[in-house]
Amino acid sequence: MDIITSLVAFLSPYLPALLGLGSKALGKGADKLAEKGAEEIFKKLSPQLDAKPSAKDAVVYVAENPDDADGLGQLRLQLKKILEAPENATLKAEIEKILEGESSTGTGKFNVNAQGANIGVIGDHAKVDNMNFGTKP
């Protein structure tokens, strides 16, 4: 999954709260960590969003209409334009780093952060897919 798609999927549920359009009750644990990541990303993106009215409009629209596929597509396009601009290479790298940290924590009955681990499985009916046991790079 590319960074733009990951970013939209990660950020869109938090947009109403980030824009102050409504209070969102969040649970504990992974949701709170994800909320902090969303806040951090949004702070980094805000100057770019404010400078592009079409991008800001897309953010507001998705916050108000989170299930609208056309709105999500427009937000994806606007974020792509921002993050693929050569002058925003550092911003893109910073956001990728935040997203990588957020994706290491899953949600569900049991959570395991297995970055750098050989293997770790916990939970009822746990299953491991796509295990690679090759040499480390």
pLDDT digits (tens, 9 = 90+) for 64-100: 998 899 999 999 999 999 999 999 999 999 999 988 8
How many domains is the chain built from?
Answer: 1
For residue 48, pLDDT beyond 60: yes
Asked if 68 and 88 touch (Cβ cutoff 8 Å), the reply is no
Position 108 in a domain: no
Position 72 in a domain: yes
For 24, the domain range is: 3-103
pLDDT band, residue 33 (cuts 50/70/90): low
Position 112 in a domain: no
- The pTM assigned to this predicted structure is 0.63
* Higher local confidence (pLDDT), 36 or 7: 7
Separation of alpha carbons 17 and 40, rounded Å: 13
Question: Of the given ranges (20-34, 75-89, 107-121), which has the lowest mean pLDDT?
Answer: 107-121
* pLDDT in the model for residue 114: 47
pLDDT band, residue 15 (cuts 50/70/90): confident
Position 63 in a domain: yes
Residue that is written with structure tokens 């507001």 in the block = 60
Q: Which of 86, 97, 68 is nearest to 59 (CA)?
A: 68
Position 49 in a domain: yes
pLDDT band, residue 34 (cuts 50/70/90): low
CA distances (Å), origin 13, targets 4, 19, 34, 99, 137: 15, 11, 10, 15, 35
Position 90 in a domain: yes
Position 46 in a domain: yes
